[in-house]
A and B are shown apart, each in its own frame.
Chain A
């Protein structure tokens, strides 16, 4: 069975500082990996996705994530955060032939001036 762990429940970052949100997955074969962002009271928006190939993937809003098979990780990064990045971030894992995604419990990001 596939599973996802987001070890950080809440992270606070100063505006302009760099950001890294952690995501670890458990799955025997090559997973499909996703990062979503949710602003308060809104639905989830897909930030980026990894299926195969280049392990560093670029997404929307200046985000990127790196797939590291040896560490079973897919961490989300941004070099300089903006106040508008304050939101909840979810990592998710899928697999070939499985219609369902497994979501992590989310990391809430707070931006301070």
Chain B
């Protein structure tokens, strides 16, 4: 069976510091991968998605970036965090060509102080 991992689970970072959140998927190959952000009391905002290694699509211009160095690894980064980057970050995966139902990781709670 497939599993998706995210770490860290929680993170408190000062404004202006860098960020690296990691997501890995096990039990499948060539998945589509997604990064979402969920602000307090808000819905899901798609930030990035990837259909293959090195292929990243950005949905919202911002100071975040994403990379996919390996087939089942998806990384969300920032060089300098803003207060507005606080939120709950969710990684998800779907099978390529399988109608795109998505399966979510446990999330990372980021607080920028």
Contacts and interface: CB of A to CB of B under 8 A. Distances in A.
Interface of A: 32, 34, 36, 41-46, 49, 51, 90, 92, 94, 96, 98-101, 103-106
Interface residues of B, number: 23
B109 to A, nearest CB: 7
A101 B45 CA distance: 11
A99 B43 contact: no
Q: Which of A43, A96, A101 has the most CB of B within 10 A?
A: A43
30 contacts: A32-B100, A32-B101, A34-B101, A41-B107, A42-B107, A43-B90, A43-B107, A45-B104, A46-B101, A46-B102, A46-B103, A49-B101, A51-B99, A90-B43, A90-B44, A92-B102, A94-B99, A96-B99, A98-B100, A99-B32, A99-B94, A99-B100, A100-B34, A100-B46, A100-B49, A100-B59, A100-B100, A101-B100, A104-B43, A105-B42
Nearest to B102: A101
B56 to A, nearest CB: 12
Q: Which of A41, A45, A49, A104 has the most CB of B within 10 A?
A: A41
Interface in B42-101: 42-44, 46, 49, 51, 59, 88, 90, 92, 94, 99-101
A46 B3 CA distance: 14
A98 B102 CA distance: 12
A71 B100 CA distance: 24
B106 interface: yes
A70 B46 CA distance: 29
Q: Which of A41, A92, A100, A104 has the most CB of B within 10 A?
A: A100
B2 to A, nearest CB: 12
Contact of A43 (B42, B46, B105): B105
